[in-house]
Amino acid sequence: MSKYNVESIKEIPIQEVLEDFYGITCQSKGNHLWCAIRNEKTPSCRIYPDTNTWCDFGDGNRGGNVITLVQHLDHIEWKDAVKKLGGYYNIQQEYPEQYDKFPSSREFKDIHIAFERSTLNFDFQIEKYGLKKTQEFAQKYSMNVAQLNKTYPKVYHNMLRARAIPFLNQARNDYYSELYFEHQIRRELGDIVSLENRDYKRLVKMAKHLSKLENILNRAITDSDLLKFSSKKYDPQTDLKNILDGKIQIEIGNISYQELKQAAASHKQQISYQKMGYLAYAEKLDQIFFKYAAFLDAKTNEVNVCCFSDRIKDLRQIYNEKLSHELKSNETTSFSSLKSNKHINHMPGKKRQGARSPFNYIQDYCKEKNTVPTTRLTIEMDR
């Protein structure tokens, strides 16, 4: 079976589904629609046509969309409700490749999820919950990922949100970084990237691998109401054009902007921003001793550095001279000269952890690291 367009399914009028599937007719009372989906004299389930949702006030305010209604009334899983509605109402299908096959343990590993024991993917935050509560959590969720999905779907999808999505975002950023820096260096060397070029074929391979990872995550998500993830279509030529037009910005900090926001919230800090030319930024990068996020806009060749407000003075002190001479620096320094820097080396065949690839110039330049920055991940427990 293929994946149905879930958004189209959610638009199927609930009143129509109730009548077609269950022979239940809605009654109009004032401006509201009511029906009985249980054995009761007075209908207590209210239908909201404007949002196409429902709420059964006689059953603990249980409610949701048309998919959850069918799931509830038929006592079936979410994907089976989608299949029933999609097939009956002839909804357009997408992603024909093995969509309904729940990822294997090896595929979960590919998206940074340990399958056999769910708790390996958790950060229990002992400081917040205490040792006793942490042990209770560890015992409660001591099961594999497939069992967690069936027993605690909210926790399962929070786990994907905390582990897999940052991993996929890093993989996307690595791909965009490779694409941009390969283009810049070869442009200066006079080597035009073409379909016959070996490195271009490597970038095509990276794009296909990234699409594969996103397909795994899409199959891992069993309820799009609990977690939304938008896949992208990757094509090196199109993606490079979007990068050069400034439609795609590349993250080049030592942590992601999402991590910075989370850290700012937990430490009650404000985030400040500083723009500068990329080459001015790169020349003094090793002097930055604190955590920061940064975005490269290839259209303007500018970097927007983001850090805690109490670090912005340190940042400006490091770049004081360069910030006042950005134009000169951008005119006199080239990408090929940066490539000769010890921080940027072409290292074919050297494997990296996680989503990294063997040719990640920009991450090599950042702090001379060979691993993806460790992310502290937190799972919100469904207590």
HSE-CB of 1 using CA atoms within 13 angstroms: 15
Q: How far apart are CA 60 and CA 44, in angstroms?
A: 11
Q: Where are the domains of the chain?
A: 3-94, 160-365
Q: Which tokens go with 261?
A: 């926001």
The model's pTM is 0.59
Angle at 365 between CA 363 and CA 366, to 5 degrees: 65
**pLDDT tens profile 107-159:** 899 999 999 899 999 887 777 778 888 888 888 998 999 999 999 999 999 99
Residue 194 has pLDDT above 70, yes or no: no
CB 382 within 8 A of CB 126: no
pLDDT (0 to 100) of residue 358: 29
pLDDT (0 to 100) of residue 344: 34
3-94: CATH topology is DNA Primase; Chain A (3.90.580)
pLDDT (0 to 100) of residue 93: 67
85-120: b or e for each residue (b if 16 or more CB lie within 10 Å)? Answer: bbeeeebeeeeeeebeeebeeebbebbbbbbeebbe
* Mean pLDDT (whole number) for 341-368: 34
